[in-house]
Amino acid sequence: MKKQIHVYYGGAVQGVGFRYTVREIAEDLDICGWAKNLDDGRVEVVAEAEEGILEDFLSRVRQHFSRYISDTQREWQIASGEFKDFGIRF
């Protein structure tokens, strides 16, 4: 069953290619959703796929940016099905 994960990443996550790398990881795993910089310095990510694929996605993001991420807030939801690809929002 497809799920949605809504994640807020805190730390030094802006200005390091975070959103673009997250998009590459998502596209590699065929995940739909988006990533966006927030005014408070965090990055917000919404992603939809099978739960196991999302867990792999979260693990890859954490591994790639472990020295930049100081805080992560996650909320699991039912997939909305509204996304056709993974994009970057501004």
- 62 among known catalytic residues: no
Q: Which DSSP category does 67 fall into? A: T
Q: How confident is the model at residue 74 (pLDDT cuts 50, 70, 90)?
A: very high
The set of residues, in sequence order, having a beta carbon less than 8 Å from that of 73 and lying 6+ positions away, is: 7, 8, 10
* pLDDT of amino acid 36: 98
Whole-angstrom Cα distance, residue 33 to residue 54?
A: 11
- 23 among known catalytic residues: no
Residue 37 three-state SS: strand
> Which of 23, 37, 60, 74 is the catalytic position?
37
Q: Which CATH code fits 2-82?
A: 3.30.70.100
pLDDT in tens, 21-67: 999 999 999 999 999 999 999 999 999 999 999 999 999 999 999 99
Around Cβ 16, how many Cβ atoms within 10 Å? 14
Say if strands 86-89 and 43-50 run parallel, antiparallel, or are unpaired: unpaired
Q: How confident is the model at residue 77 (pLDDT cuts 50, 70, 90)?
A: very high
Q: How confident is the model at residue 12 (pLDDT cuts 50, 70, 90)?
A: very high
